[in-house]
Structure 1
Amino acid sequence: MTMTHTRAGAVRGREVVGGIQEFRGIPYAEPPIGERRFQPPLAREPWEGVRDAVDFGATAPQPAHGALEGLLPNRVHPGDDYLTLNVWTPDLWGSAPVMVFIHGGAFSTGSGSVSIYDGARFARDGVVLVTINYRLGVDGFLWTGEGVPNLGLLDQVAALEWVRDNIAAFGGDPGNITIFGESAGAMSVCTLMVMPRAKGLFHRAIAESGAGVSAISPESAKKVAARVGEVLGVEATREAIGAVPIERVLAAATQVSAEVSAKPRKRLWGDVARNLMLFEPVVDGEVLPGIPEDLLTAGVGNGVDLLIGTNSDEARLFFVPSGAIDRMPRVVASLFGWTYGARRPGTVRRYRRNRPGAGSGEIAAAIMTDGFYRMPALRLAEGHAGSFVYEFAWRSGAYDGRLGACHALELGFVFDALDDPAGAAMLGGPAPQELADAMHSAWVRFAATGDPGWPAYTPATRIAMRFDTVSGIVADDRADERALWRRP
């Protein structure tokens, strides 16, 4: 056992392999229940004695199973006291770089205690690694027009404030903090970069498969809230929805999410129809002053180093396991292009010409990958001076290789966790440890120095690191396809 002191009290963790010290389930805020539900997070009240920090504990309320169960690992454990974080450190008495990971899950699922996010390998390499929970779905991102919005984002800010105030007691340097996240976690990272309340809480940022366009208007948020209330048979207020048992609320949100996917019409859902995520950060003008991409390219967030990138076949995760990739009408590719900003005649023809023999679904997946993931990342890198860009291109062996370099596949490489059984289905067979070594070390190097090991991205050079079985620098890769896109 090992012990240290936070501002709220002493915590007892444990020593794991190689002398690394691990602390699980440390609360950074009061449980968001009762009168505290739908309110901004409150710092944890001090406790007496020593608090055991050897178990992960509860996770935020969320659906128990997702459509991609078995491919995307998750951990769901009911309970009220879930605004917690976990710390792995190489040395309680050091002053190491700190990395804080924000999990993905479409702002509706996930937790910081998924096994693949184990921070021991980061600690092994001289980093204090922190993973966090935050409010999800209705509790974190539903907004009816009343009270304070974006509570899930404010939870993330509260966790970062805890890191600033306490991480020195775990051997971390509060003057060298990097936030990183994947999918909705990456979208959170880009959002935190422009939030006034997060200013000064971190110094570097890494965004994996998410950028700065995933935010919605208050009017769009109200459309979602109105429909959730309608399904529940209650008024669309936080008080009325909060009085409904959480299981019914989760079921209602799942139903409404399916309705959005079935009929993604702007008249019905506003901005939500574009991103197909029921819950996203709301541009309220105070907690979130504007669309993150707009603010970042206008200079807000300067001073924070950025590493951003995407996977070559992101959208295949959503189309291959279900078989939808083989049933997709030809028109879907054009619809994706129009929705995300490639509206020039010949867009689909160009993508098809570059992929001889590809089916209609494969072309649609490539266009969605670029429109929703790759192009927003490149726009952000171009507008945020000194950014670094990567692309993850190693193809999974799953589904006879058709899953490709899909969404979330890079996580096992970033965390150097290829041996985690939870990620085996996604990998689909043997995976190159050398690639995990390269990605993981680049993330560690960036956190320590601000330089991942290749030149920054500029409009003149468009240099990026392409991670694959054989990794290397590319310059303006697929320039003909990039030129087709503009901001929608």
Structure 2
Amino acid sequence: MLPSVQRDAEAPVADTPSGRMIGTWAQSTPPIAAFRGIPYAQAPVGPLRFAAPVPREPWAGILDATQFGPTPQRGDTGITLIPETSVPGDDTLNVNVWTPTLDPAAQLPVVVWIHGGGFTSGSPASTWYDGSAFARDGVVLVTLSYRIGFTGFGWIDGAVPNRGVLDWICALEWVQLNIASFGGDPQRVTIAGQSAGGGAVLTLLGAPAARGLFSGGYALSAAIADPSVDAARDRSHRLAKLARVTPDLHGFSELTEARILELQPKIASPSAPRLLRDLHGMLRDGLLIGPVADGSIVPGPVEHGVAHGPSAAVPLVLGTADDELLGMFKPGTVFDHMPRRAAVRALGASAAAADRWLASDQAQATDSSAVLLGRYVTDAVFRSWVPRIAAARTTGQAGPTWSYRFAWHADEPPRAGHCIDVPFVFDQLAAPGVHRVAGEHPPQELADAVHGALVRFAQHGDPGWEPDRGGLGPSRVFDLPVRDETDAYAGARALL
């Protein structure tokens, strides 16, 4: 039973095909309405736990949409780069909407944000994901939750695969049906996300069921998952063995959510006794848990989908921060005493790729071997995908592609690390925890440029600079000053 409340005459009320709901006004001028915790599918519990999402039936009465809904992320995650709150409860498949108007005639562009977290964590209930700045600038902002970790992406014989991907699609179908009631235009929907959310954007370009649900993609620091069914099945069997159940739907259905979450880290991140093998696999193929190329929901690898998939023709913007994983290896440790070529080869680079990469200007300018390894991992996991995707989209029926780099960094910490760009994208520089990645005084003029690029793309299908030519740029470099560079990913391109 959905909760309902008495209508408050001073609160915003949206009348949608899914039902009526009451929201809140953001503290802003002009007024912005926020609606939170709107269910787009039935609670994924019981028989629906490992099943495709079932769209929510329209409800009677007025839904209380004043608070964030339950999240698939559970428990206290401690201090994370992005503060992402866990909300208890079963009704985890929900969306949140920020809008400047409830007039269907407004036909405003829409951005649907898919949160990151390595496909195993993350939550839309973060102050960093507040959509007020988008609504202020005439864009309806939607954030969505989806099943994460093994529940969302683990390979289970007898169960539908890629359940998290189907959640994204179900939420986008909800947007198509309902967004006009929030002043949005269902024909102008941009999907955007960072890290795993960026990987989601790229995955959806190749998903047949997502065709026609969006008109543009914006992928920030896209984290790509392993496309191999065999590897996914192997990890599932390892988890079943640890849990002492059969590696199928019947066996995993016997496990509580808490038990799966307890065991999941053993298959979701490199660990002994398979540490080196898993690390090599992650650097080569991507994250250990995430969307799998099952041949149907996700027909093939990301590189093929972005160029030849059902939605490959939509415009795409993608880029990364310069120093995503630079802090992974600490200077002054044993890593600084490793021979540079041997260290890069130990991380899985072929002899030819190691030689090309070590000869790049970026590598030559790096004195510390520990910092060098951080740059290699950053390029292998994140940055090399930008020229790779841009080059792939020069074939087939792919639409225009733009690339960027986020190069600015605070004096402390002195790097443009993972997640630093998110508060700039949302123009939420005063949000709690931003100082941990962007220092005490992040520049508003840079937020204006970064946020403005996504707003312009949502409005006009063009972020404001020249399209990338096959991975060679030009790329917009978000720094002070903002500038454009040719072959801005030359170092990372050496790994291709």
Same fold (TM over 0.5): yes
Partner of 1:381: 390
Partner of 2:426: 415
Q: Structure 2 CA distance, aligned partners of 1:90 and 1:290? A: 39
Q: Say whether the 8 Å CA contact 1:260–1:278 is kept in structure 2.
A: no
Partner of 2:94: 84
Q: Structure 2 CA distance, aligned partners of 1:28 and 1:321? A: 47
Partner of 2:147: 135
Partner of 1:216: 227
Partner of 1:343: 353
Partner of 1:8: 18
Query: One-letter code of the match for 1:79?
Result: G
Alpha-carbon offset, residue 118 of structure 1: 0.3
Alpha-carbon offset, residue 429 of structure 1: 2.3
Q: Structure 2 CA distance, aligned partners of 1:63 and 1:379? A: 37
Q: Structure 2 CA distance, aligned partners of 1:144 and 1:465? A: 42
CA shift in 2, pair 1:109/1:54, >3 Å:
same
Deviations, residues 393-446 of structure 1 (Å, cap 9, x unaligned): 0113334x2xx0111110010000110023221223211110001110111001
Partner of 2:47: 35
CA shift in 2, pair 1:300/1:239, >3 Å:
same
Q: Say whether the 8 Å CA contact 1:216–1:271 is kept in structure 2.
A: no
Deviations, residues 121-174 of structure 1 (Å, cap 9, x unaligned): 100000000000000012100112322100000000000000000000000001
Partner of 2:318: 308
Q: Structure 1 CA distance, aligned partners of 2:267 and 2:470? A: 41
Alpha-carbon offset, residue 12 of structure 1: 0.6
Any residues of structure 2 matched to 1:41-60 within 5 Å, and which?
A: 41-60=53-72
Partner of 1:393: 407
Partner of 1:361: 370
Q: Say whether the 8 Å CA contact 1:220–1:269 is kept in structure 2.
A: no
Q: Say whether the 8 Å CA contact 1:220–1:271 is kept in structure 2.
A: no
Deviations, residues 179-210 of structure 1 (Å, cap 9, x unaligned): 00000001010000110000000000000001
Please state whether the residue corresponding to 2:353 is helix, strand or coil. coil
Q: Say whether the 8 Å CA contact 1:116–1:417 is kept in structure 2.
A: yes
Deviations, residues 350-405 of structure 1 (Å, cap 9, x unaligned): 4675324x211111111222222122111212222410110000113334x2xx01
CA shift in 2, pair 1:296/1:346, >3 Å:
closer
Partner of 2:466: 455
Q: Say whether the 8 Å CA contact 2:386–2:471 is kept in structure 1.
A: no
CA shift in 2, pair 1:132/1:343, >3 Å:
same
CA shift in 2, pair 1:337/1:165, >3 Å:
same
Deviations, residues 284-318 of structure 1 (Å, cap 9, x unaligned): 10111000212323465332110110111111254
Deviations, residues 203-226 of structure 1 (Å, cap 9, x unaligned): 000000016x53321111111111
Please state whether the residue corresponding to 1:308 is helix, strand or coil. strand
Q: Structure 2 CA distance, aligned partners of 1:478 and 1:236? A: 42
Please state whether the residue corresponding to 2:484 is helix, strand or coil. strand
Q: How many residues are paired up?
A: 476
Please state whether the residue corresponding to 1:286 is helix, strand or coil. coil
Please state whether the residue corresponding to 1:15 is helix, strand or coil. strand
- Return 129-138 or 226-235, whichever deviates more: 226-235
Q: 1:249 aligns with which of 232, 255, 260?
A: 260
Q: Say whether the 8 Å CA contact 1:260–1:276 is kept in structure 2.
A: no
Q: Structure 1 CA distance, aligned partners of 2:426 and 2:134? A: 7
Q: Say whether the 8 Å CA contact 1:140–1:150 is kept in structure 2.
A: yes
Alpha-carbon offset, residue 117 of structure 1: 0.3
Query: One-letter code of the match for 1:159?
Result: A
Q: Structure 1 CA distance, aligned partners of 2:289 and 2:383? A: 21
Identical positions, percent:
37
Deviations, residues 84-114 of structure 1 (Å, cap 9, x unaligned): 0000001111210000000000101011111
Partner of 2:5: none
Please state whether the residue corresponding to 1:422 is helix, strand or coil. coil
Partner of 1:277: 287
Please report the RMSD computed on the Cα atoms of aligned residues, expressed in angstroms.
2.5
Q: Structure 1 CA distance, aligned partners of 2:328 and 2:137? A: 34
Unpaired stretches in structure 1, ≥5 consecutive residues:
none
Partner of 2:211: 199
TM-score, with normalisation over the residues of structure 1? 0.91
Alpha-carbon offset, residue 347 of structure 1: 3.1
Partner of 2:188: 176
